[in-house]
A and B are shown apart, each in its own frame.
Chain A
Amino acid sequence: MSSTTFPRPQATTRSVTGISTGKLAVWWIVASEIVIFGGLLVFYLLMRFRHGDPWAEAATHTNIYIGAFNTFVLLTSSLFAVLAHQAAESDNGKKAARFLMYTIGGALMFLCVKSYEWSIEIEKGYVLTKNVFWGCYYLITGLHGFHVIAGAIIMGFVAKDAAKGKDLQRVECIGIYWHFVDIVWLFLFPLFYTTAAG
């Protein structure tokens, strides 16, 4: 994504609403993602209430400690994202890039832990096709993980530019997306991990 040679149209620089164009676009992206994850979670909740006890029993086999650790990792990465935004606000591109790299590091740790978690569960026989609970588990957390990967990749590009002092306004935009991914996980955590333990 070399933006050095691409001539930006005047349209990109206008702002009738007072919100920068990139940020406005990210809010619309977040809005559409709410309904995507919302649809999946509506399905999950309906199934959960439908099936009651057998579902709750199936849910006890997720590992609350791994889930909690991952929640902690994402939370910390969100902190780094907002600190990156703060640095970008002070026009400190190198610092912003550094914090973004920490965020990406958090993402990588999240993905590694998740892969390890999945491998344990698959080994125990809790596979995608075992029952509807496990199907939901892999698909929903998998789709969330896909969003983590996509976010981390885009964040990498933003960090590369930010380190050179270019397009620092994008740090906030990717940060907003990242916080959204974090918020989704904040709801996946109780749904898949903790309320089954009780």
Chain B
Amino acid sequence: MSSNNDSHAEAHHPASYYIRIYWILFGLLILSILGPLNAGLFGNFAKAIVMITAYGVAFVKAYIVAAKFMHLDIEKKYITLLLLMCLLAMFVCFGALAPDIMNPNGANWENHNPFMTTAPEMHYPTK
């Protein structure tokens, strides 16, 4: 049986609507490739260009897929709230870990092997 108990949560758009959104997403994809590849052309703004065209576009595309393809824009609001809470928890997690993890050195010591291309030889204590 097709959708039961759904209270008008389905918007009846023609296929052309979704295909139009698809081409927008495709265009954004192209932007997100060309931007980082050619960021060097922008001199001092290279980093900003990369940020906007790589991550900014990622967020915009994610929003479009979530709202238009997953129909979150017409879904009950608490579903979106639930998903945003999960994202918030991840930001909290990142923020609380960052002071410890983002610095490889401690207050009284330094890590002289921060990033290796092969693991170092480990010497384990023998019995």
Contact = CB atoms under 8 A, between A and B. Distances in A.
Interface of A: 13-15, 17-21, 23, 27-28, 30-31, 34-35, 38-39, 41-42, 45-47, 49-51, 54-55, 58, 64, 68, 71-72, 75-76, 78-79, 81-83, 86, 88-89, 91, 129-132, 167-169, 172, 175-176, 179-180, 182-183, 186-187, 189-190, 194-195, 197-198
B83 A183 contact: no
A79 B22 contact: yes
A54 B6 contact: no
B16 to A, nearest CB: 11
Contact of A79 (B4, B18, B55, B103): B18
A129 B119 contact: yes
A198 B46 contact: yes
Contact of A38 (B12, B49, B57, B89): B89
Contacts of B5: 13-15, 18-21
Nearest to B119: A129
Contact of A198 (B50, B61, B93, B119): B50
B113 to A, nearest CB: 11
A14 B74 CA distance: 21
Interface of B: 1-7, 9-10, 12-13, 15, 18-19, 22, 25-26, 29, 32-33, 35-37, 39-40, 46-47, 49-51, 54-55, 57-58, 61-62, 65-66, 69-70, 75-76, 79, 82-83, 86-87, 89-90, 93-94, 97-98, 101-104, 114-119
B29 A71 contact: yes
Contacts of B51: 195
Given A75-B29, A194-B32, A168 B1 contact: yes
Contact of B2 (A54, A79, A91, A198): A91
A131 B115 contact: yes
12 contacts: A15-B5, A17-B76, A18-B76, A20-B4, A64-B36, A64-B37, A75-B25, A89-B3, A130-B117, A180-B70, A190-B58, A195-B50
B31 to A, nearest CB: 11
A84 to B, nearest CB: 11
Centre residue among A13, A50, A91, A168 by max chain B CB count within 10 A: A50
Contacts of A130: 117-118
Given A18-B7, A75-B29, A182 B102 contact: no
Nearest to B30: A68
Given A50-B103, A79-B19, A86-B18, A34 B54 contact: no
Given A72-B26, A76-B22, A176-B70, A46 B97 contact: yes
Contacts of A89: 2-3, 10, 12
A28 B86 CA distance: 11
